[in-house]
């Protein structure tokens, strides 16, 4: 999700601090075009529902996902300001399998547009790890793939992603026709999907204490957004598009705390307009070798405590709670894109607090290579938990 580009994020975030005083007019966050399908429309009584309550359901054609039956569920969730929002998840049920377990798979989204959310991108070719969603199906498991960035596609908002993930599981269990109310449950994901999964596991004791989840597996987690953002200069960068998108995503989720758009120059505001509905490939192609210097209204950047606070709030390294769910983490020791030490510190602290957390380390530097190396053992961990086996944990 963040990879090479995220280090640019701090430059865009710190711009917010320059304009907090004496600014007469604010450039409001630019949100994505709403999906025109009425299925995605929030009901007027959304605030009367509880997190995870079902708003509506429908059956869908699963297209290329052979051997599955498809359902989509709209449900009530919560944003980072404790306001009700509507979430959506897509459920693929394996045909001919009775009482399958359930995996909530948090896919890589890396985008700003509603068409990039999995409920759309599973079927329009934009989802980069759609194959990952099919691996559990091959084991006879049901898969739920939530739109965990929410209706505003708030890219990089980790806490939000965790809450939507937990509410998506609640909602799936409520739909009687799926028959998954008592099914074993796991949550899984890598990189940006690992961020959402890690936050779901960490928040479950406080946000969804009644929800029984048997396993959480997450790899390549961006566990310290501040660390990832520090040290970047103004030079053009091949991953600038994703970094800019992450800044815009966080501004969408924290509009009053991160007024980043106020500090964009004419070029920056044009690029914001150009990319505000874009998916990953578009962002990478059109953002390549652009820079924060080209987008900023001023070079007099000052450190923004508010920006860093938001980064900390979305970094597991700084989260006080620990998972109650048996949690399997994996990471490349030499991964320079999502640094290892933040994950290691989080896992060590959780383990020493008595949490059932295990970290497996691979002596690998390349971010996505570590994904391939770790998923086989991660799925074995999930399978053992589905069989009711105790799994080895420990610091």
- What string of pLDDT tens digits covers the 395 residues of the chain? 444 444 455 555 544 443 433 334 567 899 999 999 999 999 999 999 999 999 999 999 998 898 999 999 999 999 999 999 999 999 999 999 999 999 999 999 999 999 999 999 999 989 878 777 778 888 999 999 999 999 999 999 999 999 999 999 999 999 999 999 999 999 999 999 999 999 999 999 999 999 999 999 999 999 998 887 764 556 787 878 888 899 899 999 999 888 888 889 999 999 999 999 999 999 989 988 888 888 887 654 345 788 889 999 999 999 999 999 999 999 999 987 789 999 999 999 999 999 999 999 999 988 889 998 999 999 999 999 999 998 877 77
In the chain, the largest separation of any two C-alpha atoms, in whole Å, equals 64
Task: Measure Cα distances from 376 to 139, 164, 315 in Å.
Answer: 12, 26, 26
- Say if residues 335 and 364 touch (Cβ distance below 8 Å): yes
Which pLDDT score, from 0 to 100, does residue 22 have?
37
d(CA 71, CA 235): 46
In sign, the C-alpha dihedral spanning 352, 367, 147, 85 is positive
Helix (H, G, I), strand (E, B) or coil at 84: strand
Domain that holds residue 21: 1-395
| pLDDT of amino acid 329 | 97
Measured CA to CA, the distance from residue 90 to residue 71 in angstroms comes to 6
Q: What pLDDT shows up at residue 304?
A: 75
Give the span between the Cα atoms of 101 and 9, in whole angstroms: 38
Question: What confidence score (pLDDT) does residue 15 get?
Answer: 45
- Residue reference for tokens 């290892």: 340
Tokens of 172: 């799936």
Give the pLDDT confidence score for residue 55 in this predicted structure. 98
Total count of domains within the chain? 1
**C-alpha count within 13 angstroms, C-beta hemisphere, residue 201:** 36
Query: Looking at residue 106, what is its pLDDT?
Result: 96
Q: Read off the CATH number of the domain in which 49 is found.
A: 3.40.50.1820
């Amino acid at each position: 999700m963040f990879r090479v580009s995220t280090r640019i994020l701090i430059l865009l975030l710190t711009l917010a601090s320059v304009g907090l005083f004496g600014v007469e007019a604010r450039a409001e966050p630019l949100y994505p075009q709403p999906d025109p399908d009425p299925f995605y429309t929030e009901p007027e009584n959304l605030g009367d529902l509880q997190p995870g309550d079902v708003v509506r359901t429908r059956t869908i054609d699963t297209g290329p996902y052979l051997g599955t039956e498809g359902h989509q569920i709209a449900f009530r969730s919560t944003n980072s300001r404790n306001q009700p929002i509507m979430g959506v998840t897509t459920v693929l049920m394996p045909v001919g399998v009775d009482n399958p377990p359930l995996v909530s798979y948090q896919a890589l989204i890396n985008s700003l547009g509603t068409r990039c959310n999995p409920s759309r991108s599973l079927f329009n070719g934009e989802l980069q790890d759609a194959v990952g969603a099919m691996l559990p199906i091959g084991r006879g498991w049901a898969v739920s793939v939530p739109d965990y960035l929410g209706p505003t596609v708030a890219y990089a908002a980790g806490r939000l992603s965790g809450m939507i993930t937990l509410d998506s599981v609640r909602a799936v269990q409520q739909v009687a026709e799926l028959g998954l109310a008592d099914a074993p449950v796991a949550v899984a994901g890598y990189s940006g999907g690992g961020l959402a999964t890690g936050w779901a596991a960490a928040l479950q004791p406080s946000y969804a204490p009644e929800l029984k989840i048997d396993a959480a597996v997450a790899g390549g987690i961006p566990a310290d957004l501040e660390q990832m953002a520090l040290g970047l200069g103004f030079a053009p960068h091949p991953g600038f598009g994703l970094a800019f998108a992450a800044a815009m995503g966080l501004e969408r989720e924290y509009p009053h705390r991160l007024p980043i758009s106020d500090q964009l120059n004419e070029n920056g505001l044009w690029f914001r307009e150009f990319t505000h509905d874009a998916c990953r490939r578009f962002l990478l192609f059109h953002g390549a070798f652009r820079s924060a210097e080209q987008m900023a209204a001023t070079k007099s950047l000052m450190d923004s405590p508010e920006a860093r606070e938001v980064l900390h709030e979305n970094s597991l390294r700084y989260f006080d709670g620990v998972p109650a769910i048996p949690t399997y983490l994996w990471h490349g020791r030499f991964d320079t894109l999502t640094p290892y030490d933040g994950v290691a510190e989080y896992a060590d602290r959780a383990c020493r607090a008595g949490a059932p957390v295990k970290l497996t380390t691979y002596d690998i530097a390349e971010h996505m290579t570590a994904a391939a190396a770790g998923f086989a053992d991660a799925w074995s961990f999930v399978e053992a938990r589905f069989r009711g086996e105790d799994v080895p944990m420990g610091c």
